[in-house]
Amino acid sequence: MTGFGKGKAAYAGGNIQIELKTFNHKYFEAGYKLPDNLQEIETQVKNTLKNQICRGKLYLWVHYEQLQDNSNDIIIDQKKLKRYYKLLNDIKKQLHLKDEISLAQLTAYSDIIVTKPAKENKKALFKAANMAISRALAALIGMRKKEGLALYKDLNTRAQTIEKSLQKISVYLPEEIKGFRVKLNKKAKECADKNGIKKERIEAEVALFAKSCDIAEEITRLKSHLANFKSSLKSAGEVGKVLDFIAQEIQREINTIGAKSSDFRIAKEVIKVKGEVEKIREQVQNVE
């Protein structure tokens, strides 16, 4: 399920802002890396997010707003500075350049001058980061709930559409058998003089036809699956996988009904149901 949330919290060094975004995904997957100064709480952060989000691809961004008088937090990464200098100097020698390497060139690399909280601010920073994440999560979950409500309405409507088709199929089946009997009687009457077809033979043929297209069991199971589906829709917790499994069972039963029946009206309803089931299976991949 998609969603976006933003949370902000203050600490001694300034403010920290966390942004969370999720996209549709079959499983939970975190696609982010915390900054160096938050690495110590990375496991804790991942567990917090995983406990709240069961499905979706999640991205996290961290933004800092440093206080103006917090100059002690601005440092030079000496190792990177020396590596960049050596790299530029090697290029200068290889290309026989006479230009001097300037401070402006070196500081143009954004990772040379870094902002790092002082050691005494770490505890405050971690507390603020967790608070910002909690606020961002609350906003994200709120948005996902709105999307979930829309998904619930859509899936419930599709289940009702399938129920209506099932009611029609239940009506059409006896009519199909009755129509077969009429056709068989007419054909038998036309051939009676030549072949002497008896009424018992006709009834036997009708019984055989009725048995071959009997879908009573499939209809009963379909009704049960639909009731289970609608009940699961209202359940709390992770129901996406359950709904997907039920949708597969509905698809299995409607395929059997389609294979058994030769009535064009039943075939029309079967096609309609298959279309709804396909859309349901697409949607439930996004349901948590």
| CATH number of the structural domain spanning residue 22 | 3.30.230
Angle at 32 between CA 27 and CA 34, to 5 degrees: 135
Q: Which of 107, 128, 159 is the last residue of a domain?
A: 107
| Mean pLDDT across 22-44 | 84
- Res 249: pLDDT: 92
**Res. 120: pLDDT tops 50:** no
Q: Are residues 29 and 128 in the same domain?
A: yes
* Backbone CA torsion sign across 186, 191, 193, 195: negative
Neighbours of 148 (CB within 10 A): 16
Residue 113 belongs to a domain: no
DSSP character at residue 102: P
Q: Are residues 32 and 135 in the same domain?
A: yes
If one counts the domains in the chain, the total is 3
Do the strands 56-66 and 28-30 form a parallel or antiparallel pair, or are they unpaired? Answer: parallel
Return mean pLDDT, the chain. Answer: 81
**Res. 205: pLDDT tops 50:** yes
Q: Are residues 39 and 67 in the same domain?
A: yes
Burial class (CB in 10 A: 0-12, 13-18, 19+), 110: exposed
> Domain containing 100: what range?
78-107
- Res 21: pLDDT: 92
Residue 100 belongs to a domain: yes
Residue 223 belongs to a domain: yes
* Backbone CA torsion sign across 276, 277, 281, 284: positive
Condensed to tens digits (0 to 9), the pLDDT of residues 94-116 reads 888 888 888 787 778 777 877 66
Q: Are residues 205 and 229 in the same domain?
A: yes
Condensed to tens digits (0 to 9), the pLDDT of residues 7-18 reads 999 987 788 999
Q: What share of the chain is helix, strand, coil (3-state, %, to 5)?
A: 65, 15, 20
Q: Are residues 11 and 47 in the same domain?
A: yes
- Res 69: pLDDT: 53
Q: Are residues 155 and 237 in the same domain?
A: yes
Which one-letter amino acid corresponds to residue 246?
I
Condensed to tens digits (0 to 9), the pLDDT of residues 46-70 reads 889 888 888 888 999 999 887 655 5
